[in-house]
Structure 1
Amino acid sequence: MHFPLRKCYHVIKVGILLVIIVTIFTLFEQWRGGKRSARAQDVDALEDEFEKQVLEDEARIIPGLGEGGVAAHLVGEAKRLGEESEKALAINVYLSDRIAYNRTLKGYPGQDPSSPFVYLKEIILVDDNSTLPELKGKLSHYIRTRLPPDLIRILRLPDRVGLIQARQAGSQEAKADVLVFLDAHCEANEDWLRPLLQRIKNNKTAVVTPIIDMLETDTLEYQPGNVDFEVTRFESRKTLYVGLTRARLAGARFAKGDVLVFLDAHCEGQADWLRPLLQRVKESPTSVVVPIIDVIESGNFYYSVQDPEAFQVRVRQGLMRARMTGARAARGDVLVFLDAHCEAGSDWLRPLLQRIRHKRDAVLTPLIDVIDQTTFQLDAAEHFQVGGFTFMGHFTWIDVPEREKKRRGSDIDPTWSPTMAGGLFAMNRAYYWELGAYDEQMAGWGGENLEMSFRIWQCGGTLETIPCSRVGHVFRSFHPYGLPAMSDTHGINTARMAEVWMDDYAELFYLHRPDLRKNPKIGDVTHRRILREKLHCKSFQWFLDHVYKEKFVPVRDVYGFGRFQNPWSNLCLDTLQRDGEGTPLGVYPCHDTLQATQYLSLSLKGELRDEEKCAELQYSRHIPEDNIDGEGRRVLMVTCHDKDRGQVNILSCI
């Protein structure tokens, strides 16, 4: 059989074309295989470099240093380097890098067992565009080689959003029933979370806070409190943590909901950042742990084997927006927010989860101990305090009111707190979103804690401190970071809060910050007012009448308020912008408009006072220059009290 010549040529062409295609495909596969091989070699090289860096970090750790939460001290050149790092970052990072990431905290009498590991479901690390290389590839390598990699993933944000919106974003991703917010510069003790969760389980509207002990910024010493309580089933008085081993005190059943824990880290040393992470993996029944890393600069990308490109933060957004991003990524039932400069105590999480399980709308904070920023020594007061506020818009610590001591029944019961510091708390995730999460138009840091505190109470929830949950926290002497786009984020955020939640009492805030009245920088708060209406929230007057009855309000329970003026000299009594304890009350020419320094009230007790302090007549052998009467008597502004008559009827003495 013969083919025509034309058909033969056609077959030859087709054959040649197929050979060319196969050759090209083969060469392409060889080239791509070479690229893959080269990429694999690059990855292996990077992994080797990361392993080398991690081993170097681990070699710096001094065994036993700071163990048990005791103060740690360096000598010689190491001491000098530590002091320099503390001056730069308000925490002794050099020392922190030499303390074991998972040190134990034995500052409490009696040790409780670690939390069941079965409760841990997922850990999400949220990177708010960190420029620190150790928080990129090296951190990914550390997680893969030292921690359960199937439990941990990294979420990197496309923009820097700040604290409020970061928490908001993180919360939106959360799936757990309870949200727990904590500052990162904390150390939580064993079983700190279970009491918070127990309270939330019993009362969904409760917003709870733990008792906050102190971590020294220089030595990282942990100072736990020794809160005594008396239980009839015991023959003698025992300290708080001894009783934690008894189911009767902490709750007979454990919470089994998922938990999301956020850690906020900015300008933190790697050891400070990893220490709370490792503690939570080891000791707490968390399901999700989310550190949120705030940075100042943007634009740098660091290689990560875990391919977090989709979550990379390109612009620094601040603490709140970073937390929001983390919350959006979370899938647990409970959100826990922590600062990076924390160390969690033994089993710190379970009490929070237990409380949230019983009361879904309880927002909880652990008891916060203090870690010294220089020595990392843990320290805590014998009695814990709860949160208050000033009309200037600042958070304050106040003693637990007597009426609250009677209401709660015992020293280990959930304790109502008017406000929270905001750095560390736990919350049902669904309730977090129902309540409005964070105000995403708040930038940077500041004001969000009071906004959330007022919103929790006024909208039907409760804010509670859980004494059985303890976390160590480094209270730094200054903030080693800033937000370049807006320097007064605290003032502007607080003004947004006042516009939405304080009603007519917002005027007391504007008395201190008249520059923010109707300031366009505040932005539009319409959507937050709509949220308040939607949730049928109560008035700020209700908050003062029912939640914070002890709060002195300069315009109520007084004979009068305003300026105290000498009409002949046009001089007014003036605090002279001195806020310290025991500073003299002075005089100054009266301002044309009423200013905060000349705003005083005459209380029904006869006290001459500003918001926080009363004028007290004291006698001295030495006549100071600012003495009022020239007879050895002077008037000082001191904390108001009922101990003597020195603060009563002061006007008759001056």
Structure 2
Amino acid sequence: MGVLSRRRSLLIKLVVIVSTAWFTIAFLLYSEDRTDRGIALSLQNNPVNREARELQHDSNLLEPANPFKNDDDENPKANLQEPRKEDDGGVLLPPQNLPGELGKPVVLPTNLSAEVKKMVDDGWLKNAFNQYVSDMISVHRSLPDPRDEWCKKPNRYLTKLPATSVIICFHNEAWSILLRTVHSVLDRSPKHLIKEVVLVDDFSDMSHLKQQLEDYWKSEPRVKIVRAKKREGLIRARLLGAREASGPVLTYLDSHCECTDGWLEPLLDRIARDPTTVVCPVIDVIDDTTLEYHWRDSSGVNVGGFDWNLQFNWHAVPDKEKKKHENSAEPVWSPTMAGGLFSIDKKFFEKLGTYDSGFDIWGGENLELSFKTWMCGGTLEIVPCSHVGHIFRKRSPYKWRSGVNVLRRNSVRLAEVWLDEYAKYYYQRIGNDKGDFGDITARRKLRDDLNCKSFKWYLDNIYPELFVPGDAVANGEFRNLGHGGKTCLDSPARKSDLHKPAGLYPCHRQGGNQYWMYSKTGEIRRDEACLDYSGQEVILYPCHGSKGNQYWEYDEESKLLRHGSSDKCLGINASKTKLIMEQCNNNSNNQRWTLENYDSSKLNK
């Protein structure tokens, strides 16, 4: 009995010692970041997050392969998304069974209560993305590593890289989205390469972006919060951030991004090798509903372009550029940049005149910086080894004053300063209505002082793939002469409009959706969208340059547009609502068209 008693006593002591050690470790972990977690706890106990915890117990919330269950709802501390450290002691990460980890989607059940559904709807209304789902995901969530193996090879990058100031501008951004953006920068960047993170508050009025934000970051000396004294808009907010930044390199990010592992070094490496190189990461898509992280490998990388509406677009890496590289993960030249995410040497940025302060709010600044980078001695690259995710909103949740066409004003300033004789092609798209675009004297002087190249040089050497309207046989409105002769070919030609029927509308002489070009090779096109007929309806289809279904032969005398492969002619129906294809008839006015500015001397013979 004495032996059993001593063993029982020893066992009890062992349990006490282990329990004491466990509680000590837990207390130290809990105390490590008590300020941040104090704020997190206050958020945890608000109605939205209580509802989120309840939903997290619903097996329908996540895909069956990744269920989330919290076994201790009684203890609020147990529900905190407590970071964990990787084996190497580096980046803080949450447990991988939490919602959204590794970039996986969070799918809400269909049987939401009315109260929760209202919270979800309110989040969409305020932010134009699913704030409710974002609030369920850790601000330290893990992400997949989208880099090619080429990017990870030892000594791939210079050992001595410049530090950067990361500038993030925001206006009424959702709490969890903004924090996740900043934490992704801090968690996935070598500490010595982050000079500071400058958060520029563009006059937000949401309470969580006031003192609460200050309190959250007060223990992180690298985070600096700068407040605009009035609503400035993205362009002037970025200029404010640049003035406050002290790093030799500026890195701009939007406030709804997530950086992946190894995102920063490839960007800084290019600038370290040549300070006149402006670099952009590959922009991956974060789903606005589920926050799933979508990415593609380097073989699917696109580069930036633009159309003659002066709208940015993406297109595949040209063959001539691919041939310059042995590996698809190598940096590639890009004619333009999207503008939201990039790094630039601060001195070079200042030499280029930063942004045009005459630009209002946002729009056009990305093309202006792209054009002057190339034309004034720099290089613009997409770096496939750097990946940053971005939530692409389908609408803007912010309100601005009405009565001014901001994008047009900015685009006209851009055209007047940088496009030379090619500006007329943009003006044709807007009915030659330039409006009030302000004083551009200083910007023209900047271009002269920098001894920049011509826009023709840019098109010939950097973007020869762009179809130039001046090469077109006809450009402007395509008017049908039937039923009074007041009906024009009219269709939007955005990417989302492709594969849809082309339309008609009363002629208005304002360009826009009624601006078309007839190319030397018989295409009826606007930018990269061509009229295409394969036996059903006349649709818009990506131009392929191979004639076939996109070949139209115009007879200047009869004014018929004959389709090459079908030998039918383009006409309109009696109600003037639809394009039709008919057997050609010289006496049918509804098959007769006038093509504005038609010049047969430009035809390929």
Same structural fold, with TM-score higher than 0.5 when normalized by the shorter chain:
yes
2 CA distance for matches of 1:542 and 1:599?
Answer: 26
Partner of 2:475: 561
Unpaired runs of 5+ in structure 2? Answer: 1-33, 50-79, 82-94, 554-560, 564-568, 570-605
Contact 1:324-1:438 within 8 A present in 2 as well: yes
Q: CA deviation at 1:431?
A: 0.7
Contact 1:388-1:398 within 8 A present in 2 as well: yes
Contact 1:563-1:572 within 8 A present in 2 as well: no
How has the CA–CA distance of structure 1 residues 588 and 92 changed in structure 2, closer, same or farther, with 3 Å as cutoff? closer
Residues 1:86 and 2:124 are matched in the alignment: yes
2 CA distance for matches of 1:409 and 1:295?
Answer: 47
Residues 1:56 and 2:68 are matched in the alignment: no
Q: CA deviation at 1:256?
A: 2.5
1:550 aligned residue (458, 462, 465): 465
2 CA distance for matches of 1:86 and 1:365?
Answer: 29
Partner of 1:217: none
Contact 1:283-1:347 within 8 A present in 2 as well: yes
Q: CA deviation at 1:523?
A: 0.7
Contact 1:259-1:288 within 8 A present in 2 as well: yes
How has the CA–CA distance of structure 1 residues 572 and 599 changed in structure 2, closer, same or farther, with 3 Å as cutoff? farther
Contact 1:295-1:318 within 8 A present in 2 as well: no
2 CA distance for matches of 1:99 and 1:301?
Answer: 19
Partner of 2:254: 339
**Aligned to 1:340, what secondary structure does the other structure show?**
coil
Contact 2:200-2:227 within 8 A present in 1 as well: no
How has the CA–CA distance of structure 1 residues 299 and 533 changed in structure 2, closer, same or farther, with 3 Å as cutoff? farther
Partner of 1:388: 305
1:646 aligned residue (520, 527, 549): 549
How has the CA–CA distance of structure 1 residues 369 and 497 changed in structure 2, closer, same or farther, with 3 Å as cutoff? same
Residues 1:244 and 2:244 are matched in the alignment: no
Residues 1:363 and 2:268 are matched in the alignment: no
Partner of 2:528: 612
Further displaced range: 644-653 or 533-542: 644-653
2 CA distance for matches of 1:376 and 1:72?
Answer: 7
2 CA distance for matches of 1:357 and 1:455?
Answer: 20
Q: CA deviation at 1:538?
A: 1.1
How has the CA–CA distance of structure 1 residues 376 and 301 changed in structure 2, closer, same or farther, with 3 Å as cutoff? closer
Contact 1:320-1:443 within 8 A present in 2 as well: yes
Q: CA deviation at 1:65?
A: 1.2
Using the size of structure 2 for normalisation, the TM-score is 0.70
**Aligned to 1:408, what secondary structure does the other structure show?**
coil
Further displaced range: 578-587 or 391-400: 578-587
Contact 2:201-2:228 within 8 A present in 1 as well: no
The one-letter code of the counterpart of 1:71 is P
**Aligned to 1:583, what secondary structure does the other structure show?**
coil
Contact 2:185-2:258 within 8 A present in 1 as well: no
Residues 1:97 and 2:135 are matched in the alignment: yes
Partner of 1:290: 198
Contact 2:197-2:224 within 8 A present in 1 as well: no
The one-letter code of the counterpart of 1:652 is R
**Aligned to 1:331, what secondary structure does the other structure show?**
coil
Partner of 1:439: 356
**Count of residues paired in the alignment:** 458
Q: CA RMSD in A?
A: 3.0
Q: CA deviation at 1:567?
A: 5.3
**Aligned to 1:479, what secondary structure does the other structure show?**
coil
Residues 1:71 and 2:57 are matched in the alignment: no
Q: CA deviation at 1:604?
A: 2.0
How has the CA–CA distance of structure 1 residues 598 and 52 changed in structure 2, closer, same or farther, with 3 Å as cutoff? closer
How has the CA–CA distance of structure 1 residues 444 and 65 changed in structure 2, closer, same or farther, with 3 Å as cutoff? same
1 CA distance for matches of 2:264 and 2:449?
Answer: 32
How has the CA–CA distance of structure 1 residues 608 and 309 changed in structure 2, closer, same or farther, with 3 Å as cutoff? closer
Q: CA deviation at 1:553?
A: 1.4
Unpaired runs of 5+ in structure 1? Answer: 1-47, 109-239, 621-633
Residues 1:471 and 2:374 are matched in the alignment: no
Using the size of structure 1 for normalisation, the TM-score is 0.65
How has the CA–CA distance of structure 1 residues 81 and 343 changed in structure 2, closer, same or farther, with 3 Å as cutoff? same
Residues 1:278 and 2:183 are matched in the alignment: yes
Contact 1:68-1:105 within 8 A present in 2 as well: yes
2:438 aligned residue (523, 526, 543): 523
The one-letter code of the counterpart of 1:429 is K
Partner of 2:29: none
1 CA distance for matches of 2:369 and 2:485?
Answer: 43
2 CA distance for matches of 1:301 and 1:639?
Answer: 44
The one-letter code of the counterpart of 2:162 is G
2 CA distance for matches of 1:597 and 1:50?
Answer: 52
Residues 1:597 and 2:513 are matched in the alignment: yes
Deviations 1:499-527 (A, max 9, x none): 1111122222222223741x22x110110
Contact 1:92-1:375 within 8 A present in 2 as well: yes
Q: CA deviation at 1:245?
A: 2.0
The one-letter code of the counterpart of 1:613 is A
Contact 2:430-2:511 within 8 A present in 1 as well: no
1 CA distance for matches of 2:130 and 2:140?
Answer: 17
2 CA distance for matches of 1:72 and 1:50?
Answer: 24
The one-letter code of the counterpart of 1:105 is L
How has the CA–CA distance of structure 1 residues 584 and 53 changed in structure 2, closer, same or farther, with 3 Å as cutoff? same
1 CA distance for matches of 2:210 and 2:516?
Answer: 56
Higher relative contact order by CA 8 Å / sep ≥ 6: 1 or 2?
A: 1
User: What is the correspondence of 1:419-498 to structure 2 with a 5 Å cutoff?
Assistant: 419-484=336-401, 487-498=404-415
The one-letter code of the counterpart of 1:290 is V
How has the CA–CA distance of structure 1 residues 404 and 72 changed in structure 2, closer, same or farther, with 3 Å as cutoff? same
Contact 1:298-1:314 within 8 A present in 2 as well: no
